[in-house]
Every structure is written in structure tokens, then in C-alpha cells.
Copies of this chain bind each other. A is one copy, B any other.
Amino acid sequence: MRPVAILGIGQTKIDEHWDKSLREIGGEAAFAAMQDAGAEKVDALFVGNMLSPLIDGQNQLGTYYADWIGLWKQEAVKVEAACASGAAALRAGLMAVSSGDIESALILGAEKMTDKAGHDVTSALATAADADYEVEQGISFVGINALVMRRYMHEFGWKHSDFAPFSINAHANAMHNPFARLHQKINADQFERSSMIATPINLMDASPIGDGAAAVVIVPAEKVASLKGKPRITVAGSASATDAIAVHSRKDPLFLSAAYQSSKRAYKMANVTQDDIDVFELHDAFSIMAALSLEACGFAERGQGVRLGLDDGISPNGRVPVCTRGGLKARGHPVGATGIYQIVEVVQQLRGACGETQVDGAKIGMAQNIGGSGATILTHILQAD
């Protein structure tokens, strides 16, 4: 495989952009990434998006954006893996550049979840679960995650309040990220008193939806060997793995087997272990997912992911800094775009551009993007020269 570097990054603020269309938010992020990369053209566009057919009545998003941002005649395609669509689009682009068939690609994650006339967001998000064997029974996507969290608490003896550090850390870090959806510090009391959504998941366990787009430009690593001013950032590891789509079909619903598989493959490809990871942008769609991800990737023992938060291990100065720009919980979760936001944020860390939430001397960063409640999981490891 030909090594690939990330040359430029771009993102929009995640918000309810009632004044901007799906086209416009995607264009904003794409142009920002192209400008950051100093690129006027790329060979291909890979778009990560989950909900545009349902919410925006629009398919064929690859070509839709190639048209809008002026990549006329160029190759373009959309990749979808529910909430892991962003990372899946990145991986498709990586494969194309690695193969030698193309020399550059723009990867765009974009999602507009508010202010449209299509499906309501709750039923649209439920398409990530199994339509025949989960959704048909009347359960929502939050409900599925609530069952997992309840079982985890029962199995390992944790209280709801033990999950508070994930949310508190995310909100604290988002205060310093101008692109974050929520700029509001919270404390343990506010976490515990928040409105219930699906017991035991309350509003502070759950990530907010939003409109957002993020983009990166990738090129063969050998082409940026001589780049000055900022470190060259390469994709050292990339892997994708799956599990049963319905939670009840999994051997162990409390173990993210696809996170274990994809992180194992990514570590091997990058020739690192979890101890080498300086910063980890994980997929805290719900606080339970943060705990399970830490466990499956080797940062905590089974049932002890929560402990890492309680022991102050997840802050920017902790042993395993997570959600350093706010995570899904406070930066926001525009589903198909989230995986690219994570990559953008790891790049920011490796560039040393994160100010108050900068992880000192970060050289190796990891991003993990989850589709469904653990069904499709992609892990990427980035490395600064």
C-alpha cells in the first residue's frame, strides 16, 4: 500500500443552520480543506452521509457536491455506514489513493438534520438499526443503547453518576472549540439532574444532532515529504470491522467486537500499541459507547472503561485524552460528518493547534467512528513526522 498523507482540513460550526442548505454547509467545509491544503483541484471526491435521502430527499451526494464545489468531470461517490459514514468515506478515499489510480482526493462528511421537510430525525436515525428485528418492534435507536447501558450497569455494578466524567470532560473541552455545537460547561449535579430520554440514558449521556460538515484532502505521502511549517501527517493505520447489526444477535452485547477487531488491525498496520496513542477521538454518541470503546481498544479492562473517567484519565492531561475538542457529546454529532470531524480534530492535535485542550507533544492520534450501536466500526491512526 502506498502511504497517504492528510494535506488539509476544513470544518463548519455544528449548529442548526436554518439559513444554510446541505449544499452550502458541505461547500464551506470542502473549500476550507482545499484552501488549507493549498489545492485547487483533486482527482476525486468521497462523501460520507447517512440521512440525505430521508431528510433532504437527495441521493447521489457525491456528484451533487462535485457539481456544487466545481469538481466538474471528476469522479465522485457517496459512502454510507450509518454514523460511521464519515470514516468509511475516508477509508474508500485512502484505498483509491493507495492503489495508485488517483493522486488526490477530497473526503467530505456532511449532514443536515434540521429544518427540512422529510422524515423526522428519530425515525431516520433508526435506519441504523435492524429494520426487521429491532425497529419493527418499536424500539428507537436511543432505546437500543439504553438497554446496553442498563445491562452494563447491572453487570459491572456502576451507578448512572459514574458516567458523568465523559460528559463533563466533553463539555469542558468544547468550550475551547469554536466549531462545537455546545459551549456550556456542566458539573456532576447537572449531569445527574438532566432530563431522561430512555432510562438510564439522559440528555447529558446523549450527543446532540446538528447540521455540520468537515473535510480533509489526502495525497500520496511521498508528495508532501518536503512540506514545511507544519508537520507531515500520515495515515499510519486504517481498518474497518463489523458485528451483527442487531444487538441481540451479538455474542456479547457489552463488548464492541468490531472496535476490538478494527483497532487491532490498525495498531498492527501502524506498528504501535494502545500505549503509543497520545490522543483518542472516540465515538461518544452515548456515554456508554465511550466506556465500551475504551475497553475494546485496550485502554481499560472489561467493565472498567468508566473507571478511566472517574480517575481523571480522559482529560487532555490524562492517560488517555479523549474528546479533546468536545467529542460527539459537545462538539455535536451530525451523523455522517462525525467521522471526518474526528479526523480533523486529530490532525489539529498533531499540528499542536488545540490551545487550552492541546495534548502536550501529541505525535500519534487515533479516531474511532461507530455505525449503529457497534455494528460497523472504523479505526484510523494518524502520525506526525
Contacts and interface: CB of A to CB of B under 8 A. Distances in A.
A287 B285 CA distance: 47
A95 B59 CA distance: 23
B64 A92 contact: no
| A interface secondary structure, majority | mixed
A173 interface: no
A23 interface: yes
Contacts of A372: 60, 63
A167 to B, nearest CB: 26
Interface stretch (A34-42, A73-81, A340-348): A73-81
A127 interface: yes
A75 B242 contact: yes
How many copies of the chain does the oligomer comprise? Answer: 2
A37 to B, nearest CB: 21
A56 interface: yes
Interface in A336-385: 371-372, 375-376
Contacts of A135: 57
A56 B131 contact: yes
A178 interface: no
A1 interface: yes
Given A64-B245, A240-B77, A376-B62, A127 B88 contact: no
Interface stretch (A97-105, A149-157, A301-309, A316-324): A97-105
A252 interface: no
A130 B122 CA distance: 25
Nearest to A374: B63
A269 to B, nearest CB: 8
B100 A1 contact: yes
B60 A371 contact: yes
Interface string A90-123: 0110111011110000000000000000000000
A159 interface: no
A53 B54 contact: yes
A257 interface: yes
A81 B61 CA distance: 7
A21 interface: yes
Q: How large is the interface on A (under 10, 10 to 19, 20 to 34, 35 or more residues)?
A: 35 or more
B88 A242 contact: no
A60 to B, nearest CB: 4
A261 interface: yes
B376 A77 contact: yes
A277 interface: no
A249 B57 contact: no
Contacts of A54: 53-54
A174 to B, nearest CB: 27
Interface string A159-199: 00000000000000000000000000000000000000000
- Report which residue of A80, A100, A240, A244 has the largest number of chain B beta carbons within 10 angstroms of its beta carbon: A80
Given A95-B95, A132-B23, A82 B101 contact: no
B79 A92 contact: yes
A72 to B, nearest CB: 7
A203 interface: no
A130 B1 contact: no
A80 B49 CA distance: 10
13 contacts: A58-B127, A59-B80, A60-B81, A60-B375, A63-B242, A64-B130, A72-B243, A74-B241, A75-B241, A77-B88, A78-B79, A79-B92, A98-B100
Given A57-B126, A60-B376, A75-B240, 8 more contacts: A21-B132, A44-B240, A56-B131, A60-B80, A60-B81, A66-B242, A73-B261, A95-B96
